[in-house]
Structure 1
Amino acid sequence: MATTPIAIALSLIMATAGTIAFAPRITEPLAATEIPVKNMIITSVAQSKLGLIAAGELGHILLSQDNGQTWNKANISTQRHALITDLTFQTESYGLAIGHEGWILQTQDGGANWNEVSFGSEHSVPLLNISQITKNQWVSIGAYGLTRISNDNGNTWQDVSPPAQTDWHLNAMIVPNEGETRLIAGEAGTVLRSEDNGQSWQSITPFYDGSFYGGIHLGNQSWLIYGMRGNIFRSFDDGISWQKVNFNLPISLFAHLQLPDGQIVLGGQGGLLLSSTDNGESFNLLRRGGRETITDIHLLDSGNFLLGSDAGVIHFPVSDATDIAYQSTIINK
């Protein structure tokens, strides 16, 4: 049977299709995956032997070895995608991180690798703050009075009764470098006080009905706490009684840093940074922001600040500070 031109054409088409189908492909390289560090919620920033460690949204822990210019993801043994609320380093290598759902992570290598040591509890609610009480004892506190303790330097954890049997959210434990007095600042004006390294707690008579988010030990018997609507209070009798600081910007304050020279820096809504050089008696405006809220403040070796916020990490050169003399007339009367 003679081969027709149509049959020849079909054979050539099939052969060509087969050649194309099995030929090796040269794929265009994919665009590099970038960590959206400028659009993430970053709740906490710390320093380790490897560099800067930042944590926050969806359980991400990030590492920067160039002072926050670029970031890489740390390895996490079990990723829960829960918000990390606080992280801290005991040494250059050993650190702990906590978050929602009672999540607790541990690193032994400066933050490159993190292992889960606890997740969930009888009350799987957010942990909000972690503090070292004694050499091997850590305490993590959180929502509805949730309190978890480790007596073996963070390796194992157990739920314990809330301090002073409170069921308010506990936002921060304030631990001085010396002495046995400890304070807890929390929701609805909660201030708790311990004179025995946190073994027992007493409630301070409420003096403000809004939440407190943090505080600082100022030395000797002086303390400072801060919170909603720009409320700042100081105590001069080891946390027993409190006096309001004259401050007139109604912005909530969520973060602090005390510099080596004693200067106090507070951060909060509107991306604002405030500074006090008189032990918290008055505050000057260092930075105007936008809509971001400052959640942590870290001092870089350069003397500039790296800020954690709900809009990612922010670099703030001290040279950009607002005119303090002018702004002090606005926020302190």
Structure 2
Amino acid sequence: MRTPVGITVAVLMALGAAQAFAPRATPPLAATRLAVDRMQLNTLVASKAGLVTGGELGNLLYSTDQGKDWTRAKVSNDRQALINQISFAPDGLHGMAVGHEGWILRTTDGGLSWKEIAFEEKNGEPLMSVARLPSGAWIAVGAFGKALRSDDEGAHWTPLALPASVEDKHMNRIVGSSDGQRWLIVGERGLVLHSGDAGQSWSLIDPFYNGSLYNALALPDGGWLAYGMRGNIFQSSGDLGPWSRSEMPVQASFYSHAVTPDGKIILVGQGSVMATSSDGGRHFTLSRAKGRTSLTDLLLLPGGQGWLSSDAGLQAFSATATAPPALPTPAPQPSATPSSGAAQ
């Protein structure tokens, strides 16, 4: 009796072992969705591959369906440093992303994948802006007067020659004209640098404001719009001024802009405030996007639709929708701004 029982037990154990080690199909994982409506995202651009955004914890994302779905890009090194700006060459494939700790990444496929080319793990200064010059060189600027130039697609970076008066001022944005011949760099304490030779040399514009400027826009008439803290917007009729203050009915800080096909200028900033000008930036009317966030960038798509990025994620935007009524009271000041400077 013992022999049949022993054989039966042995057979059952063998079958159990075979079942345990037998190959089996893995059930599909549930689809996950990136929480782009809850991330801090600082920059939003279009490339040949689609839409590309970046921000907190080194997140670099792309969408190939006009923002409906987002995918995390492949990044060679996970640094979790804040991404501040993404910029692409005219071909829409070659681009650079810059961020904190002197982080620089390069893409050659429109933002689907990124390779780290610079990172300063100890005492690295934030890089705030990056741009490609008509010569093919890339320049990047950031905190404490840091300014770099690369003539070999980012493989090597050397100091960018700037006037000594820049000192240790934070530089927030590099902006070029549509023909690529005229450029501005704007920053804290009213810093404005100008180049009239496609970014090869830079000169200091006499200060016309003592606070931080966060961005600028080249106007069709050859002038500029520069803007920043507490609703301070300035316009010039030429490269070197004079500069005059625009009419802005709210003391909100503004960080980015877009221009509609019919020439309207839209600024976005703190407190979900949006400011629109139909007269070249001399006067602005106000509306507000959803929530009470700091709007960091906006991207208009064909047909007047687009997206807004913010410290609370992405939201859809329509330039053709009826604007909300004007804001009745000034928006509160943010507890922190993209760079420091004298508050004016």
Q: Distance in 1 between matches of 2:156 and 2:139?
A: 11
Taking a change above 3 Å as real, the CA distance of residues 134 and 27 of structure 1, as seen in their structure-2 partners, is closer
Equivalence for 1:213: 214
Taking a change above 3 Å as real, the CA distance of residues 20 and 258 of structure 1, as seen in their structure-2 partners, is same
Equivalence for 2:84: 85
Q: Distance in 2 between matches of 1:98 and 1:151?
A: 17
What amino acid is aligned across from residue 202 of structure 2 in structure 1?
S
Taking a change above 3 Å as real, the CA distance of residues 149 and 121 of structure 1, as seen in their structure-2 partners, is farther
Preserved CA contact (<8 Å) 2:186 2:193: yes
Per-residue CA shift, 1:34-88, capped at 9, x if unaligned?
A: 3221111111111122211111111111111111111111111122111111111
What amino acid is aligned across from residue 88 of structure 1 in structure 2?
S
TM-score (norm 1): 0.85
2:202 alignment partner, one of 200, 203, 206: 200
Equivalence for 2:124: 124
The 3-state SS of whatever aligns with 2:189 is helix
What amino acid is aligned across from residue 126 of structure 1 in structure 2?
P
> Could you tell which deviates more after superposition, 189-198 or 227-236?
189-198
Q: Distance in 2 between matches of 1:308 and 1:106?
A: 22
Equivalence for 1:251: 252
The 3-state SS of whatever aligns with 1:301 is coil
1:172-251, aligned counterparts within 5 Å? 172-178=173-179, 180-196=181-197, 197-208=199-210, 210-251=211-252
Taking a change above 3 Å as real, the CA distance of residues 180 and 169 of structure 1, as seen in their structure-2 partners, is same
Taking a change above 3 Å as real, the CA distance of residues 21 and 132 of structure 1, as seen in their structure-2 partners, is closer
Preserved CA contact (<8 Å) 1:230 1:249: yes
Equivalence for 2:56: 57
The 3-state SS of whatever aligns with 2:268 is strand
Preserved CA contact (<8 Å) 1:48 1:89: yes
Preserved CA contact (<8 Å) 1:123 1:146: no
Equivalence for 2:42: 43
Gaps of 5+ in 2: 3-12, 331-344
What amino acid is aligned across from residue 204 of structure 1 in structure 2?
D
Q: Distance in 2 between matches of 1:114 and 1:173?
A: 22
Instruction: Report the alpha carbon displacement of residue 277 of structure 1 after superposing the two structures with TM.
Output: 1.4
Instruction: Indicate the structure (1 or 2) with the bigger Cα radius of gyration.
Output: 1
Taking a change above 3 Å as real, the CA distance of residues 166 and 303 of structure 1, as seen in their structure-2 partners, is same
Equivalence for 1:6: none
Q: Distance in 2 between matches of 1:110 and 1:18?
A: 50
> Could you tell which deviates more after superposition, 302-311 or 312-321?
312-321
Preserved CA contact (<8 Å) 1:194 1:202: no
Instruction: Report the alpha carbon displacement of residue 328 of structure 1 after superposing the two structures with TM.
Output: 9.0
Gaps of 5+ in 1: 4-13
What amino acid is aligned across from residue 114 of structure 2 in structure 1?
W
> Could you tell which deviates more after superposition, 117-126 or 178-187?
117-126
Preserved CA contact (<8 Å) 1:224 1:235: yes
The 3-state SS of whatever aligns with 1:327 is coil
The 3-state SS of whatever aligns with 1:93 is coil
Q: Distance in 2 between matches of 1:227 and 1:123?
A: 27
Aligned length: 325
What amino acid is aligned across from residue 287 of structure 1 in structure 2?
R
Preserved CA contact (<8 Å) 1:283 1:328: no
TM-score (norm 2): 0.82
Structure 1 residue 307 and structure 2 residue 284: aligned?
no
Taking a change above 3 Å as real, the CA distance of residues 159 and 284 of structure 1, as seen in their structure-2 partners, is same
Preserved CA contact (<8 Å) 1:288 1:322: no
Taking a change above 3 Å as real, the CA distance of residues 153 and 28 of structure 1, as seen in their structure-2 partners, is closer
The 3-state SS of whatever aligns with 1:117 is strand
Preserved CA contact (<8 Å) 1:294 1:309: yes
The 3-state SS of whatever aligns with 1:101 is coil
Preserved CA contact (<8 Å) 1:287 1:321: no
Per-residue CA shift, 1:292-321, capped at 9, x if unaligned?
A: 111111012232121111111110233543
What amino acid is aligned across from residue 151 of structure 2 in structure 1?
N
Equivalence for 1:71: 70
Taking a change above 3 Å as real, the CA distance of residues 328 and 295 of structure 1, as seen in their structure-2 partners, is closer
Q: Distance in 1 between matches of 2:257 and 2:264?
A: 11
